[in-house]
Structure 1
Amino acid sequence: MALTGSLLSPPPHARTPDGWVELFLLSGPGDEECLRFGSPVDRSTLRRLVAAQRERLADAGLGPGGTAALRLPPSLGFVVALLACWQQQAQVTLLDHRLTDHEIGLALDRLRPQVLVRAEHRSAAALRGFAEVEPEAVPLPAGRPAATPHALLQLSSGSTGPSKVIGRTAADLIRELDCYAKLPDFPGEGERVVLLSSVVHVLGLVGGLLNSLHARAPLTVPERMTAAGILDAIAADDRPSTVIGVPFHAELLAGATSPPALPRLRRMIVAGEVVRPSLPAAFGARYGVPLGTMYGMTELGVIATDLTGELHPWSAPVHGLELREEGGELHIAMADSPYPGLTDPARWSDGWLHTRDAARVDPDTGRVTVLGRRDSQVSVGGLKVDLTEVEQTLSALPGVREAVVVFDKGAIEAYLSGDPGAEPDRLRELLARQLAPYKRPRRLALLAALPRTATGKLLRDVTGLRAAVAAGRTTADPHH
Structure 2
Amino acid sequence: MNGNPSSRDSNAIDPGWIDDFLFTGKPVDVCLRLPDPVDRGTLHRLVTEAQTRLAAAGLRAGGAVALRLPPSLAYVVNLLATWRSGAQAILLDHRLTDHEADRALRRLTPQVVVAPVRAGNAALRVFVDVTEGVAPYADRPATSDHAVIQLSSGSTGPSKVIGRTAADLVAEVRRYTQLDGVALPGERLILLPSMVHVLGLVGGLLYGLHAGVELVPPERLSGAAVLDAIGAADSPATVLGVPFHIGLLAATQLDRPLPMFARMVTGGELVSAATVRSFTERFGVPLGNMYGMTEVGVIGTDLYGRHRPAITPAPGIEVREVAGELWVSCPTSPYLGSTDPSRWSAGWLHTRDAGTVDPDSGLVTIRGRLDSQVSVGGMKVDLTEVENTVAELPGVAAAVVVWDDGITAYVQPVGTLTEETLDQQVAERLAGYKRPRTLRLLDQLPRTTTGKLVRSVDMLRTAGTS
TM over 0.5: yes
1:327 to 323, 326, 339: 323
Q: 1:157 touches 1:163 (CA, 8 Å); kept in 2?
A: no
1:339 and 2:338 aligned:
no
Cα offset for 1:259?
4.1
Structure 2: distance between partners of 1:21 and 1:342: 30
SS at the partner of 1:422? coil
Cα offset for 1:152?
0.3
1:442 corresponds to: 437
Point out 4+ residue stretches in structure 1 off by more than 6 angstroms. Answer: none
Structure 1: distance between partners of 2:281 and 2:207: 29
Cα offset for 1:163?
6.5
SS at the partner of 1:26? coil
> What value does the CA root-mean-square deviation take over the aligned residues?
1.5
Structure 2: distance between partners of 1:365 and 1:144: 50
SS at the partner of 1:120? strand
Q: 1:99 touches 1:159 (CA, 8 Å); kept in 2?
A: no
Compare 209-218 and 129-138 and name the one that shifted more: 129-138
Q: 1:406 touches 1:462 (CA, 8 Å); kept in 2?
A: yes
Q: 1:96 touches 1:158 (CA, 8 Å); kept in 2?
A: no
Q: Indicate how the Cα distance of structure 1 residues 158 and 256 shifts in structure 2: closer, same or farther if over 3 A, else same.
A: farther
1:69 corresponds to: 66
Letter in 2 for 1:214: H
Compare 19-28 and 453-462 and name the one that shifted more: 453-462
1:239 to 206, 228, 235: 235
2:88 corresponds to: 91
SS at the partner of 2:305? coil
Cα offset for 1:126?
2.3
Q: Indicate how the Cα distance of structure 1 residues 42 and 128 shifts in structure 2: closer, same or farther if over 3 A, else same.
A: same
1:403 and 2:402 aligned:
no
1:113 corresponds to: 110
2:28 to 27, 31, 43: 31
Cα offset for 1:325?
0.6
Per-residue deviation, residues 327-368 of structure 1 (Å, max 9, x unmatched): 111111111100121222111111111111111111112111
Structural mapping, 1:11-410, within 5 Å: 11-13=10-12, 16-122=13-119, 124-140=121-137, 142-157=138-153, 159-160=155-156, 164-409=160-405
Cα offset for 1:285?
0.9
Please give the TM-score of this superposition, normalised by the length of structure 2.
0.96
Structure 1: distance between partners of 2:422 and 2:213: 47
Structure 2: distance between partners of 1:285 and 1:303: 28
SS at the partner of 1:12? coil
Q: Indicate how the Cα distance of structure 1 residues 248 and 407 shifts in structure 2: closer, same or farther if over 3 A, else same.
A: same
Cα offset for 1:134?
2.4
Structure 2: distance between partners of 1:64 and 1:268: 39
Structure 1: distance between partners of 2:50 and 2:360: 51
Identity of aligned residues (%): 55
Cα offset for 1:158?
7.0
Please give the TM-score of this superposition, normalised by the length of structure 1.
0.93
Q: 1:103 touches 1:159 (CA, 8 Å); kept in 2?
A: no
1:460 to 449, 455, 462: 455
Q: Indicate how the Cα distance of structure 1 residues 161 and 106 shifts in structure 2: closer, same or farther if over 3 A, else same.
A: farther
Structure 1: distance between partners of 2:447 and 2:66: 42
Cα offset for 1:262?
1.1
Structure 2: distance between partners of 1:468 and 1:242: 48
1:432 to 407, 413, 427: 427
Count of residues in correspondence between the two structures: 458
Q: Indicate how the Cα distance of structure 1 residues 125 and 138 shifts in structure 2: closer, same or farther if over 3 A, else same.
A: closer
Q: 1:155 touches 1:163 (CA, 8 Å); kept in 2?
A: no
Per-residue deviation, residues 113-170 of structure 1 (Å, max 9, x unmatched): 1110111143624211111112222101x34212221000000017545770000000
Letter in 2 for 1:147: T
Q: Runs of 5+ in structure 2 lacking a partner?
A: 1-8
Cα offset for 1:38?
2.0
Cα offset for 1:18?
4.8
2:4 corresponds to: none
Structure 2: distance between partners of 1:72 and 1:79: 10
